[in-house]
């Protein structure tokens, strides 16, 4: 059997070796740096490998992301052309992300930051209670993760819309599509949640111009990718009061540098890229199936279109 290469700075090679060995009898699983002869490797299971790393495998048939995003693969200027590019689409991660987005929406909706300030000042004071059905939540990206987050938030009675490249039909979620409908989507959004893939089109999308199109007092949540958000523009919008608060799980540089102003900003909550973590148990069935398919010369599932880059 051809070899499966594993390399990730985040994920446990032993956990993946175990979960794949249970599903692919006789698997030749090689965790970097113990790769042996690179010519044996036909399937690469990777997360954030250095640029140029993958071109050393001359017989690669598939490159599989150890996450739902594939921007780390397309970032390689020497990415071999020809292998299938595959990603995880894991229902477990979909649920985790929906929980995280719901947590942020509820925190802002129920004035969490204001009550945390009051507690710090030992002030016993009630604020006017907000009405759920009038709180407008907007999800950027209605794919595997965005659609589940939107449905989950809508189930509690929020007024939910989503923005995507193509029109969607999701019960209780208003669909906005394409650049022409972005302004209308932003104008009706009190809590903006970013769940887009990082592509040339989405890089720097959340900038000063976009923040200005949100209603005054809107909140910004991002768990897509850090490079979609211009961090200085968000700081300026927070400091002017136009944006009332932000919850961020992804950053332009990760880990977030120790001197970054987000760490101590009173209106920013920092999460260390954990909203939907890769899970070697729930993710292994589809990876095992793709190893089987690729080695049999069949089309894999969850293949990414290299032209769209997501």
User: Active-site positions?
Assistant: 225, 273
Query: Where does this chain touch ligand NAP (CB under 6 A) — which range of 3-11, 27-35, 62-70, 292-300?
Result: 62-70
- Output 19 or 278, the one with its CB closest to ligand NAP: 278
Position 226 contacts ligand GLV (CB under 6 A): no
∠ CA 110-112-114, nearest 5°, is 110
Answer with the entry of ligand NAP, ligand GLV, none that 83 interacts with (C-beta below 5 to 8 A by kind): none
Q: What are the start-end ranges of the E strands in 11-89?
A: 28-31, 41-46, 62-65, 84-86
- Output 24 or 224, the one with its CB closest to ligand NAP: 224
Token pair 């999701």: residue: 170
Position 67 contacts ligand GLV (CB under 6 A): yes
Quickly list DSSP for 138-149.
EEE--SHHHHHH
- Output 67 or 300, the one with its CB closest to ligand GLV: 67
Token pair 């969607």: residue: 168
Position 69 contacts ligand GLV (CB under 6 A): yes
Token pair 């894991």: residue: 90
Query: Closest-CB residue for ligand NAP?
Result: 143
Q: Nearest distance from residue 60's CB to ligand GLV, in Å?
A: 21
Position 138 contacts ligand NAP (CB under 6 A): no
**Cα–Cα distance for residue pair 192/231, rounded to 1 Å:** 15
Answer with the entry of ligand NAP, ligand GLV, none that 164 interacts with (C-beta below 5 to 8 A by kind): ligand NAP
Answer with the entry of ligand GLV, ligand NAP, none that 223 interacts with (C-beta below 5 to 8 A by kind): ligand NAP
Q: What are phi and psi of 233, to 5 degrees?
A: -70, -35
**Cα–Cα distance for residue pair 105/275, rounded to 1 Å:** 14
- Output 40 or 289, the one with its CB closest to ligand NAP: 289
Tokens of 226: 């850090």
Query: Where does this chain touch ligand GLV (CB under 6 A) — which range of 21-29, 64-72, 101-109, 210-218?
Result: 64-72
Position 195 contacts ligand NAP (CB under 6 A): yes
- Output 196 or 220, the one with its CB closest to ligand GLV: 196
Which one of residues 198, 227, 230, 291 is an interface residue with ligand NAP (CB under 6 A)? Answer: 198
**Cα–Cα distance for residue pair 55/276, rounded to 1 Å:** 29
Which one of residues 83, 138, 197, 300 is an interface residue with ligand NAP (CB under 6 A)? Answer: 197
Which residues 6+ apart lie within 8 Å of 259 measured at CB? none
**Cα–Cα distance for residue pair 289/211, rounded to 1 Å:** 42
Residue 73 CA to its chain's centroid (Å)? 14
Q: Treating both helix axes as pointing N-terminal to C-terminal, what angle do 91-109 and 144-154 enclose, rounded to 10 degrees?
A: 50
Which residues 6+ apart lie within 8 Å of 176 measured at CB? 161, 162, 163, 164, 182, 184, 185
Q: Nearest distance from residue 302's CB to ligand GLV, in Å?
A: 12
Residues 202-261 close enough to bind ligand NAP by CB under 6 A: 202, 223-225, 249-250
Q: State the residues that interact with ligand NAP by CB under 6 A.
A: 67-69, 93, 141-146, 163-166, 195-199, 201-202, 223-225, 249-250, 273, 275-276, 310
Q: State the residues that interact with ligand GLV by CB under 6 A.
A: 67-69, 278
């Amino acid at each position: 059997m051809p070899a499966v290469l594993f390399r990730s700075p985040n994920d446990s090679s032993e956990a993946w070796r175990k979960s794949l060995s249970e599903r692919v009898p006789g698997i030749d699983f090689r965790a970097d740096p113990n790769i042996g002869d690179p010519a044996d490797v036909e399937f690469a299971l990777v997360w954030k490998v250095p640029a140029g790393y993958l071109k050393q495998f001359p017989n690669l048939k598939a490159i599989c992301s150890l996450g739902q995003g594939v921007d780390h693969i397309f970032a390689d200027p020497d990415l071999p052309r020809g292998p299938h590019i595959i990603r995880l689409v894991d229902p477990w991660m979909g649920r985790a992300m929906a929980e995280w987005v719901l947590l942020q929406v509820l925190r802002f909706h129920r004035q969490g930051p204001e009550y945390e300030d009051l507690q710090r000042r030992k002030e016993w004071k009630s604020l006017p209670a907000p009405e759920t059905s009038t709180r407008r939540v907007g999800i950027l990206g209605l794919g595997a993760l965005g659609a589940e987050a939107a449905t989950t938030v809508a189930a509690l009675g929020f007024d939910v819309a989503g923005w995507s490249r193509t029109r969607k039909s999701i019960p209780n979620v208003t669909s906005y599509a394409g650049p022409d409908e972005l302004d209308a989507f932003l104008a009706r959004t009190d809590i903006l949640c970013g769940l887009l893939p990082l592509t040339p089109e989405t890089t720097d999308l959340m900038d000063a111009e976009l923040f200005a199109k949100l209603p005054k007092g809107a909140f910004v949540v991002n768990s897509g990718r850090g490079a979609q958000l211009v961090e200085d523009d968000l700081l300026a919008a927070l400091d002017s009061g136009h944006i009332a608060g932000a919850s961020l799980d992804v950053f332009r540089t990760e880990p977030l540098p120790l001197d970054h102003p987000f760490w101590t900003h009173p209106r920013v909550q920092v999460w260390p890229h954990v909203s939907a973590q890769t899970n070697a148990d729930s993710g292994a069935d589809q990876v095992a199936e793709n190893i089987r398919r690729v080695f049999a010369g069949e089309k894999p599932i969850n293949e990414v279109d290299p032209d769209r880059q997501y």
